[in-house]
Structure 1
């Protein structure tokens, strides 16, 4: 059993940008405005204390798969993130209204995978909401006509790769290299299958203690109420020269799991060049901007590592459809252990690639990133640096225009009064 804790003061990356601006000789007024905006932004940052524990309370190394528990504690509540490789890999989020809630695991029941109640968060009365995201299947099809339109019938796909049939490695725990100055913890999991040859499918979960961004594209904006899950295919052989892939996801919950998608637009592509929108997978709305859970991503994937703009490719998604909760629970040991009854479940497919873009065979690599969290989904906004640059860029020409107009008026008023026009 391994336990890691992290809780420290967060220094915004914007603060370092202020220092760099001063070093480059920017005007004092520009540095002052940017510093004020940075300090205001930092004052509004909410923080959590994040701890990480592998196989909590297990008497020995589990044979069926690891269970990772990340606990993000706030002033008056706790977010429990449970990531499990038993069966189909799944991430369970449990939100409690106390900072003292704890995880209890009955390992005898949990490893059997067919018994409910083997995992619970106590006190049970403190649980406000819970939801799980299950990665069910990897789908592949031959895009002979280069339309990037997934087939409508299952017969047009190659036999799917069920992720519950993959042999998963043990979790590799670390302080994530994706964090800027935000306190966070990360764990990586890789799996192999006979059809993968020497390739692998890897997942990396990162839980953050404060608002910030990852260092690598797509540089999703995260909060202290969200986690980030990355997925990548590396070296997995394609079954056709023009293969494209889809990932099947299932959202599981009690009363109100994510069941609809929204497309949110932005005017700023500062952090993810050429991408001006993001997809939200949400529960039914109650009229509030706060949601018990959300899944969020930008519709972009990458064909190379590290990600580059030239290697970016578009993502699509299908409308969410209701699934049979019993089947989802049977595939994911974490869902079966936590939910006492067959939970509600909705699923969708995320497709990778756009017509005219290179196929998977061009690099044999594909990566995609999403967020899972609670509360208000992080919304893109213009950074203080962009706001200051816009203010300077628009303000200087306006100032010149006003000064020029004033000079013209003064010169006209100062013209001789006895001037006689020539007939």
Structure 2
């Protein structure tokens, strides 16, 4: 009986976990893309080689709205604004946005509907000659670093040409403004929005919800400046007063969805004692050296200590300043972090000239992978089978014992 109960409970647990693992959360949002909202496209600046890309992703729920604003005006940036109204709207003053101080150029109406806002700026791309083969930014001497690529100085293709309104995808693709070293190479930020929960079909198979968007950072064909080039990306998070960022690492024994990766890293925005998570940037510590993103093409990625406060070198321009204003620059609510790609003794960038790294950005608690059906089934068998064997063994012993007693019994007349 005990074995039967154990197996039934295991099956029930497997069913619940498998539903969660497949992301069957029923909550959905109505998602739409809008390119350069409110801008007169007939007015163009012929002196600027870069397109003023502003992509507004509006995700409307039953009683709220999440606004994502992706832009390459200045450093590539994503601005996330959560409102308590399903009818809140974005307004951009394009004349003010092009000024040295673009404060208040980006607004959400009505202002009182704004519950929370944050921004992540992708500021710099590091390249270094990994002579000692450590794949560690912190152990690399300054003399091994090449001049940093400041992403605010890049020229960017027209994101409108890549919009897929049905698939809810887009791409911000940029090149070094000088044209040197890049040739036909580029970096790109591929954006995916979601109406509901699910799992990305490509490795690392990130689990997403209706409250998140996915970002794939890609280095493709960039000409390396050394024989042992490796790369790192700097990102900067901006928060309002009273909100801080912290890095959390979650480990698991299950790697079914991302083979050989037993960890999830998160850069979360929290208040108070840290129990209330407002937003997150979440990723698996893995990158890929080929567009097909097969397991054989995987390479570890690693993050470094979070740096907080006024000592951060912020880009001169970002659309985040148009929403938060200049007071946020260099304040205590600024956090910076580096992510590098590769492992000591592993494949170098020079051999493939390709790197892709995926992450999720979203509002609220980040989605969390549970044990997969396969692992739970193995655990159920591992736990239930020994109990069943013990019970069967006990039953056999009892039966043999009773049989011996029955043979030795002599009836008395």
TM over 0.5: yes
Structure 1 position 373 matched with structure 2 position 362: yes
Match of 1:186 among 150, 169, 188: 169
1:352/1:37 CA distance change after superposition, 3 Å = closer
Instruction: Report the 3-state secondary structure (helix = DSSP H, G, I; strand = E; otherwise coil) of the residue aligned with 2:320.
Output: helix
Instruction: Report the 3-state secondary structure (helix = DSSP H, G, I; strand = E; otherwise coil) of the residue aligned with 1:252.
Output: strand
TM-aligned CA deviation for residue 32 of structure 1: 9.2
Instruction: Report the 3-state secondary structure (helix = DSSP H, G, I; strand = E; otherwise coil) of the residue aligned with 1:259.
Output: strand
Partner of 2:38: 57
Partners of 1:91 and 1:354 in 2: CA distance: 29
Partner of 1:399: 388
Give the number of the structure with larger relative contact order, counting CA–CA contacts within 8 Å between residues 6 or more apart. 2
Partners of 1:266 and 1:31 in 2: CA distance: 21
Structure 1 position 231 matched with structure 2 position 217: yes
Give the alignment's Cα RMSD to 1 decimal: 2.8
Match of 2:247 among 261, 266, 269: 261
Instruction: Report the 3-state secondary structure (helix = DSSP H, G, I; strand = E; otherwise coil) of the residue aligned with 2:190.
Output: strand
Structure 1 position 159 matched with structure 2 position 147: yes
Partners of 1:342 and 1:220 in 2: CA distance: 35
What's the CA shift string for 1:131-161, capped at 9, x where partnerless? 1111111101111111112246544310011
Partner of 2:346: 357
Partner of 2:304: 318
Alignment of 1:242-281 (within 5 A): 242-256=228-242, 258-281=244-267
Partners of 2:171 and 2:194 in 1: CA distance: 15
Partner of 1:148: 135
1:216/1:418 CA distance change after superposition, 3 Å = closer
Match of 1:173 among 137, 143, 163: 163
Does the 8 Å CA contact 2:243/2:271 hold for their aligned counterparts? no
Does the 8 Å CA contact 1:141/1:245 hold for their aligned counterparts? yes
After TM superposition, the structure 1 stretch with the greater mean CA deviation from structure 2, 149-158 or 129-138, is 149-158
Partners of 1:131 and 1:330 in 2: CA distance: 18
TM, length-normalised to structure 2? 0.85
1:87/1:190 CA distance change after superposition, 3 Å = same
1:100/1:224 CA distance change after superposition, 3 Å = same
After TM superposition, the structure 1 stretch with the greater mean CA deviation from structure 2, 249-258 or 221-230, is 249-258
Does the 8 Å CA contact 1:325/1:345 hold for their aligned counterparts? no
TM-aligned CA deviation for residue 46 of structure 1: 1.9
Does the 8 Å CA contact 1:259/1:321 hold for their aligned counterparts? no
Partners of 1:218 and 1:267 in 2: CA distance: 16
Partners of 1:326 and 1:60 in 2: CA distance: 35
Match of 2:118 among 121, 125, 131: 131
Match of 2:65 among 71, 78, 92: 78
Partners of 2:239 and 2:405 in 1: CA distance: 84
Does the 8 Å CA contact 1:66/1:170 hold for their aligned counterparts? yes
Structure 1 position 106 matched with structure 2 position 90: no
1:138/1:43 CA distance change after superposition, 3 Å = closer
Gaps of 5+ in 1: 1-28, 177-183
What's the CA shift string for 1:249-295, capped at 9, x where partnerless? 11112124553212111221111111111111123442464412211
Partner of 2:325: 340
TM, length-normalised to structure 1? 0.83
Partners of 1:310 and 1:387 in 2: CA distance: 26
Instruction: Report the 3-state secondary structure (helix = DSSP H, G, I; strand = E; otherwise coil) of the residue aligned with 1:108.
Output: helix
Partner of 2:4: none
Gaps of 5+ in 2: 1-8, 46-50
1:98/1:409 CA distance change after superposition, 3 Å = same
Partners of 1:409 and 1:375 in 2: CA distance: 57
TM-aligned CA deviation for residue 347 of structure 1: 0.8
Instruction: Report the 3-state secondary structure (helix = DSSP H, G, I; strand = E; otherwise coil) of the residue aligned with 2:69.
Output: strand
1:326/1:357 CA distance change after superposition, 3 Å = closer
Q: How many pairs were matched up? A: 384
After TM superposition, the structure 1 stretch with the greater mean CA deviation from structure 2, 342-351 or 159-168, is 342-351
Instruction: Report the 3-state secondary structure (helix = DSSP H, G, I; strand = E; otherwise coil) of the residue aligned with 1:115.
Output: coil
TM-aligned CA deviation for residue 351 of structure 1: 1.1
1:210/1:104 CA distance change after superposition, 3 Å = same
